Structure 1
């Protein structure tokens, strides 16, 4: 997996939460009800990420899928090698 794409997506998601929270905390009433500001910021951040962060999310998920596919293929190869080594019998040389 490309670490850069995951880091970029994570930073953008954090900014989508922290920027609205910071703006709301500028208002005196929202400073008093900080928990309400956090809830609104989370909803705004979720909405912004669904609207604008589709491309970075697709890149991260495709990287994860490719990594999982490689791991599955490697495991299948290892299982096939183990099965082939098991069918050789007692005459097979030890490693």
Structure 2
């Protein structure tokens, strides 16, 4: 089986860290149905806390893969190189 890209894994986990608390508050706390903006705010804070505590390894993997892709790309010429080449 092909391994999923780390950025996709991290994105899905972050979405779950937001959507699960949102669904729990929606189902079990009916007062939040009236104050949906407060429910979304609390879900965002809970999701951010969960991701800081438990998603450090997926974040490191995603960051590492982004860095590897960026460093494998050939460097673009700098402005000085372009200016020096056109003034010949």
Q: Segments of 4+ in structure 1 off by > 2 A?
A: none
TM-score by length of 1: 0.72
Larger Rg, first or second structure (1 or 2): 1
Spell out the pairing of 1:1-40 with structure 2 (5 A cutoff). Answer: 4-26=5-27, 27-40=29-42
Q: Are residues 68 and 3 of structure 1, via their aligned partners in 2, closer, same or farther at CA, if it must alter by over 3 Å? A: farther
Larger RCO (CA under 8 A, 6+ residues apart):
2
After superposition, the CA RMSD in angstroms is: 2.2
TM-score by length of 2: 0.77
- In structure 2, runs of 5+ residues without a counterpart are 79-84
Q: How many residues align?
A: 76
Question: Does the alignment pair 1:63 with 2:65?
Answer: yes
Q: Match of 1:90? A: none
